[in-house]
Structure 1
Amino acid sequence: MPLLEINIVPVGTNSSSFSSHVGQALRLIEGRGLKYQVTPTSTVIEGELNDLMDVAKEIHEEALHGATRVVTNITIDQRMDKAMNMENSVQSAQQSLQ
């Protein structure tokens, strides 16, 4: 299943904090029933590609409320040779330390 990493940078707000924007993004993701993992600098979402693109667009557009400009970065990770999910990707990286 594809993974999408999203990072939004609202510009032109009254605060340097992003937490309210992240909270709103998480509500949108949860509302769609998608699995996600928050990191200190981004959020990784797991789902079908169309669902991921739809929620990324919604997150970007929602961040425009209260900001004069929003920069949104996304990365899509999709494998065709085997099944993939967030847990397997993290486990594989951790096992490489051994």
Structure 2
Amino acid sequence: MPILEINFVPVGTGSASYSSFVQEAVELLNTRGLKYTVTPTSTVIEGNTGELMKVAEEIHNIPFKDGAMRVVTNIMIDERRDKPDNMEKRVSEVIS
């Protein structure tokens, strides 16, 4: 299953905090029923490539609709096609 990692930095909001934007992104992911993990610096989402790209665009636009003048978004997609894969499996292989 493809995994997308996304983080964004809204610029021009008048505040150093942007946790409210991340909360909106989490609400969007919950609405979509996507599996995700929020980390201190990014959010990791599991799903098919098409839905991941669509939700990444929507997440990128959250700060704009809330008044940000600029948003810097970093996205990484990791997809394996040689064997079944998911977030839990990857973590358990490292931590076990």
Which residue pairs with 2:3 in the alignment?
A: 3
1:83 paired residue number:
84
Q: Distance in 1 between matches of 2:73 and 2:94?
A: 26
> What residue in structure 1 maps to residue 49 of structure 2?
49
User: Following the alignment from structure 2 to structure 1, what is the Cα–Cα distance between the partners of residues 5 and 69?
Assistant: 23
Deviating beyond 3 angstroms after TM superposition, the runs of 4 or more aligned structure 1 residues are none
Show structure 2 runs of 5+ residues with no match.
none
2:69 is aligned to 68
Secondary structure at 1:13 match in 2: coil
Q: Deviations over 1:26-51 (max 9, x none)?
A: 01111111000000000000001101
Q: Distance in 1 between matches of 2:63 and 2:80?
A: 29
Q: Figure out how many residues of one structure are paired with residues of the other and give that number.
A: 95
Which letter does structure 2 place at the counterpart of 1:79? R
Tell me the SS of whatever aligns to 1:6: strand
CA distance in 1, matches of 2:84, 2:14: 43
CA RMSD in angstroms, aligned pairs only: 0.8
